[in-house]
Every structure is written in structure tokens, then in C-alpha cells.
Amino acid sequence: MTLSIAIVGAGPAGYYTAEAAQKQWGNDVRIDIIDRLPTPYGLIRAGVAPDHQSIKAVTKRYEGTNLAPGTRLVGNVMLGRDVSVQELLGLYDAVVLSVGAPHDKPIGIPGDDLPGVIGSAAFVGWYNGHPDHAGLNVDLSHHGAAIIGNGNVAIDCARVLAKTVDELSTTDIADHALKTLAESSVRDVHIIGRRGPHQASFTTKEAGELGHLVRAHPVVRPGDFPPEAEDAALDPGQRKMVTHLRGFAGLPRGDKPVTINFEFFRRPVAVEGHGKAERLIVETTRLENGQAVGTGELHAIPCGLVIACIGYRTAEIPGVNWSDKLGRFPTDDAGRIAPALYASGWARRGPSGTIGTNRPDGFSVVAAMVEDGIAASGKAGPAGLDALLATRAVKASDFAGWQKIEAAEVAAARTGAPREKLVDVTKMLQIAL
Ligand code: NAP
């Protein structure tokens, strides 16, 4: 008898969980990494910004994990549509949900349903060529764009809007996005933070990058900072990030045509416009016990595009306990959801941390499996899944199929770019199957 594990989600959390299971059980485990797309790597492919290719290099490690004996990619198979969690639990000794957090947290302000208001999952998915978002209508015919949130996703979105075509064309940004950005009229990008520079969750490198763009320069109001002596109380990473922001506050305006305006102490209260977004109304805030409190003072930021970069939610899966409050599956500290059912990555801890944070996460889930006595019990495993999918005429793609897709993408790349992503699942399957 061989132990069998199904990992749902071929993103970083799924691969690190598979790596941990391989280290734990070696040749005595069969692992199926199941994904609804024929392409693996989740947020590395569809979330990490296209101009951050060095971060994407980690896929070489995941490739090694997938090519290890006993481990398969089962692409084009969607949990809840093609197979249920209960069926997977009947087929495998353990099931891990590493499905991430693909849905935008709603802003919940009047006017947030106007055309021109989008979430970062959609915008990032659009420029990264995710099949779900490749058809998004992104209107860049206005001068202003407002980006809500003070995290790295907000910085990614601002940087992509601010970069020149030359800066982006050597990346794997999707062709449709590059063409739209080439025609962009956006000149004033606003990054809206409801708290101040000390509370921003940008990391140092990401904040610093905004000081080195070809046609854009950052603008920060000096009055938004607390006295410099208070920086000493910050942890070293945060202090360096704040030092970058202080540097931006001292920059001369220069003659770059695009500005990236940090609007600290501003809370979004409404989006207004006739039939589409034309302005974001923000309220000035002050800090009380570390929280943003409105002062009643309102400002209008002219913008035709509002991108909410305020966090994500995991998708509900039929038959799995889900918390609307948490926006994910409730788990214990080790990622247990129910007997033999676990979660890792953002599906377990929410949308936080770097890619590398998922590694200890995957290892701790496998440690919980060991503690729970997960062992080979004679379940049908991968062969059972294949038989079930055959009865439903579901055609799964495999890692060799992904390698064919990858070869086609590399062959179609613009000059200097690593690949041109396929954005249509039907086309991907024509190549993969
Ligand atoms: P994040 O770092 O949690 O930032 C979310 C931001 O949204 C916070 O500034 C938060 O403000 C704000 N926010 C939440 N609800 C809001 C509301 N209703 N109104 C106004 N503002 C609101 O999340 P993220 O930027 O989505 O990034 C997710 C994770 O991925 C992070 O760990 C991030 O570092 C990581 N990431 C890393 C990279 C990289 O390393 N290059 C790139 C992208 C993402 P408060 O703080 O006031 O709640």
C-alpha cells in the first residue's frame, strides 16, 4: 500500500506542501497536485508582477518537485465542478487545500459598482494574462488613477501604470495589457492609505523602486510624517521603507510626466461619476490607538480608474467549512480543517507574507499529518481519480502538457521578453492534450 495525497492548487503553497511530503515519505507517497488551469505556479505566474522576473525564478524549484517520481500535475480539473472534496477524501489518505485567495475583498463604499472600479485580483490578473481576467475592460483614457491600499500590491499596480512600454516590453506582461498601457493617458497615480507612512505595509525594495522609474516620480507630503526621531521605534525593515518615503518627500518635482502621489491619512468614502468612475471621494483621517478615524474633511481625487488593493478572500468550496468573517477556511494552528483535510498558504492564513512564507506553512501541514497518523490505508489514490474523471469525460492535463504550453509561450515571446502567455484555456488544452 502506498500513501496518497491530493493537493488542490498548483501555486507556491501547493508545491511547498508537496516538497514537504516528498521529504517526509520519499518513495512511499503518491502526490497529485490538482489545478483548475492547465498551467501551474499560481500567483508566481499570475500574481507576481511581470517586471519582477527574479522572483519568478523559484518556479525551477517547483518544477523539480513536480518531476520527482510519484508526483503528478493534474491540470484542468476544478474542485467543486469536476470532483468534490468528499470524493477526494474517499480516494486519498489526505487532502490539502492550497487554493489561495483569488477573490477581491469588497471596498463596500457607495459607487464601488461603477464601471472603472476594479479589484487588484482582476487588474493584476489582467496584466499577468490570467484566463479569468484577460478580457477585463481597463479604461486608461483618464489622467487620474486611484489605487486604494498601502501594501505591495498597490505598489505593483502603481508601477505597472507608471512604467514606459520600453520598461515593460522585456517582461512577460500580457500583450493585451502592454497594448492598452501603450495608449494610456494616466499621468497622476494616487496611492491611498487610510493610515500613515509608519503603518504602511510596503516592503523596502518595493517602495524604493518607485524612486527609479524612467518617466514617473513619487510625491509624498512632508507633513504626513511623524517626527523623524519616532522612526527609531520601528523594526529595521519598516524603518528602511520609511526612509525611502522620507527621501521621496524631499525630491524636487523634476520634469517627469507621471506622478505617483502617496495620499496618506485618506480613507475612501465614495466613488462618484455619471455612469462610470470619475472621482474618488476620500476623508482625511487621524490615528487613534493606531486606527484610522475620519475627521469629516472630504477631498475629491479625479480618476477614471479605481483599483482596490485591500486584500483577498479564498473561494468557498462546497462541503468545506468556511468563515465569511475570515474570508477563508477556519483551521487550527497547524492547518487542520477536518479529519484528513488540511489547508496551506493563503487558504490557511489569509493573504499575507512573501512567497517564501508558504514553505514553513507547507512543512507544518505535513508535520500535522504525521502527528495525526496519516498513513497508507489502501485508498485508490491517483488511479482512482483517473477512473472517476474518465466517467465524467474530464480531460486532465499533465506536467508534460504544461511543458508544451511553456515551449509555445517561449517561442511566441516579444524580442527580449521571456514568454508571451497564452490566456485562453481552450488554446492551452489544444497544445497540452
Ligand atoms: P496588505 O499588505 O495586507 O495591504 C493591504 C492594504 O489595504 C493595507 O494598507 C490596508 O490598510 C488596506 N486596506 C484594507 N482594507 C481597507 C479599506 N477598507 N479601506 C482602505 N484601505 C484598506 O496586502 P496586499 O498589498 O494585498 O499584499 C498581500 C501580501 O502579498 C502581502 O503580504 C504583500 O507583502 C505580499 N506581496 C508581496 C510582493 C513583493 O514582495 N514584491 C508583491 C505583492 C504582494 P490597513 O493597514 O490600515 O489595514
pLDDT tens-digit series, residues 125-139: 999 999 999 999 999
Q: What is the C-alpha to C-alpha distance for residues 204 and 194, in angstroms, rounded to an integer? A: 19
**pLDDT value of position 332:** 96
* Cα end-to-end span (Å), the chain: 30
pLDDT tens for each residue of 182-217: 999 999 999 999 999 999 999 999 999 999 999 999
**pLDDT value of position 430:** 98
Q: Phi-psi region for residue 19, left (φ > 0), alpha (ψ -120 to 50) or beta?
A: alpha
Residue nearest atom 21 in ligand 1 by C-alpha distance:
149
Q: What would the grid cell of residue 300 be? A: 475629491
Residue nearest atom 26 in ligand 1 by C-alpha distance:
311
**pLDDT value of position 253:** 73
**pLDDT value of position 156:** 98
pLDDT at 104 over 80: yes
What's the pTM?
A: 0.97
Enter the DSSP assignment of 7: E
**pLDDT value of position 27:** 95
Hey, what amino acid is at 326? L
| Minimum-distance ligand 1 atom for the alpha carbon of 153 | 25
Residue nearest atom 33 in ligand 1 by C-alpha distance:
152
Q: CB–CB of 370/24 below 8 Å?
A: yes
Percent of the chain topping pLDDT 70? 100
Reduced to 3 states (helix: H, G, I; strand: E, B; else coil), residue 211 is helix
State the residue for C-alpha cell 477556511: 329
Q: What's the CA-to-centroid distance between 408 and ligand 1, angstroms?
A: 34
Reduced to 3 states (helix: H, G, I; strand: E, B; else coil), residue 371 is helix
Q: What's the CA-to-centroid distance between 327 and ligand 1, angstroms?
A: 15
* Strand bridging mode 71-74 / 29-34: parallel
**pLDDT value of position 199:** 98
**pLDDT value of position 254:** 80
Our mutation pick for probing the ligand 1 site, out of 209, 284, 310, 354, counting the most ligand atoms within 8 A of Cβ, is: 310
pLDDT at 266 over 80: yes
Q: What is the C-alpha to C-alpha distance for residues 267 and 285, in angstroms, rounded to an integer? A: 7
CB proximity list for 100: less than 8 A, separation 6 or greater = 9, 11, 13, 42, 43, 312, 314, 345, 346, 347
Residue 237 CB neighbours (<10 A): 11
pLDDT at 391 over 80: yes
CB proximity list for 391: less than 8 A, separation 6 or greater = none
Our mutation pick for probing the ligand 1 site, out of 152, 190, 287, counting the most ligand atoms within 8 A of Cβ, is: 152
How many Cα atoms occupy the beta-carbon half-sphere of 237 within 13 Å? 8
DSSP-assigned beta bridge partners for residue 289: none
Q: What's the CA-to-centroid distance between 152 and ligand 1, angstroms?
A: 6
Please compute the mean of the pLDDT values over residues 386-405 and round it to a whole number.
Answer: 98
**pLDDT value of position 77:** 98
| Minimum-distance ligand 1 atom for the alpha carbon of 357 | 32
Residue nearest atom 14 in ligand 1 by C-alpha distance:
310
* Strand bridging mode 103-104 / 312-313: antiparallel
Residue nearest atom 31 in ligand 1 by C-alpha distance:
352
Our mutation pick for probing the ligand 1 site, out of 103, 194, 206, 301, counting the most ligand atoms within 8 A of Cβ, is: 194
Our mutation pick for probing the ligand 1 site, out of 150, 159, 280, counting the most ligand atoms within 8 A of Cβ, is: 150
Q: What's the CA-to-centroid distance between 49 and ligand 1, angstroms?
A: 15
Q: What's the CA-to-centroid distance between 388 and ligand 1, angstroms?
A: 40
Q: How confident is the model at residue 123 (pLDDT cuts 50, 70, 90)?
A: very high
| Minimum-distance ligand 1 atom for the alpha carbon of 310 | 7
Closest Cα to residue 268, out of 126, 138, 125, 114?
114
pLDDT at 85 over 90: yes
| Minimum-distance ligand 1 atom for the alpha carbon of 309 | 26
Q: What's the CA-to-centroid distance between 180 and ligand 1, angstroms?
A: 26
**pLDDT value of position 283:** 98
DSSP string, 71-122: EEEEBS--BTTTB-HHHHHHHSSEEEE-----EEPP--STTTTSTTEEEHHH
Q: How confident is the model at residue 251 (pLDDT cuts 50, 70, 90)?
A: confident
Please compute the mean of the pLDDT values over residues 149-165 and round it to a whole number.
Answer: 98
Q: What is the C-alpha to C-alpha distance for residues 202 and 238, in angstroms, rounded to an integer? A: 8
Q: Give residue ranges with CB within 6 A of ligand 1.
A: 52, 148-154, 156, 193-195, 199, 201, 203, 206, 268, 309-311, 351-354
Q: What's the CA-to-centroid distance between 154 and ligand 1, angstroms?
A: 7
Mean pLDDT of the chain: 97
**pLDDT value of position 113:** 97
Q: What's the CA-to-centroid distance between 129 and ligand 1, angstroms?
A: 22
pLDDT tens for each residue of 267-291: 999 999 999 999 999 999 999 999 9
Q: What's the CA-to-centroid distance between 2 and ligand 1, angstroms?
A: 42
Hey, what amino acid is at 210? L
| Minimum-distance ligand 1 atom for the alpha carbon of 55 | 41
pLDDT at 408 over 80: yes
Q: What's the CA-to-centroid distance between 352 and ligand 1, angstroms?
A: 8
Q: How confident is the model at residue 146 (pLDDT cuts 50, 70, 90)?
A: very high
| Minimum-distance ligand 1 atom for the alpha carbon of 49 | 42
